[in-house]
A = this chain, B = another copy of it.
Amino acid sequence: MKTADMVWLGRRLADTGLLEMRAHAPEVPTAEFIVMRELLDRPPSTITALASRTGYAQSRVSTAVSGLVNRGWAQTRSDPADGRRTLVFVPGHIRKNAREFQTSTETETLDQLLAGRSPARRKAIIGALEELLDAFREQAAEEQPGTGTITQPEPDTATRWPKAPTASASAN
């Protein structure tokens, strides 16, 4: 695969996903969407950790988080162990109301795109994407020295997408 193909493919993938995203949550800025995804299944994260996991610049994450807080989708508190740090997390009641969205965003578009292929091929391709995703995630995790993430993966109670904002929307 050529570099140009990689770039093009990446764009197609992202654009396709963005389209799907806007169909479900037209008002949510991309960065907030991505950060939210990162927040949902994890223990409270610092801004820096979120930056390296999402690939966004620190300033971008900072802004996105404040947007999420305005929406009532996330909360922050300062790290008791280190007052300079901000811990960001999704409050339980939001977490619980999010299933519908997460479920509905399960890769339909990709299946449609691959409609011409056999089910086995489709599955293989999507499986490969998942593995690539993991590889990128590992890379992102390595980039961040231990400091960033708080260890334990928390007994996750389903991952849901908030449907009812607690506060005002706006932003963006």
Contacts and interface: CB of A to CB of B under 8 A. Distances in A.
Interface residues of A, number: 53
Which has the most chain B C-beta neighbours within 10 Å: A3, A117, A126?
A3
Nearest to A30: B7
Interface stretch (A43-51, A76-84, A87-95, A129-137): A129-137
B113 A135 contact: yes
A4 B116 contact: no
A11 to B, nearest CB: 5
Interface string A17-38: 1101100100000100110110
Interface stretch (A58-66, A67-75, A103-111, A147-155): A103-111
Given A1-B130, A128-B125, A131-B125, A21 B7 contact: yes
B20 A6 contact: yes
A9 interface: yes
Interface string A111-125: 001101100010011
Contacts of A13: 6-7, 9-10, 13, 132
A97 to B, nearest CB: 15
Interface of A: 1-18, 20-21, 24, 30, 33-34, 36-37, 54-55, 102, 105-107, 109-110, 113-114, 116-117, 121, 124-133, 135-136, 138-139
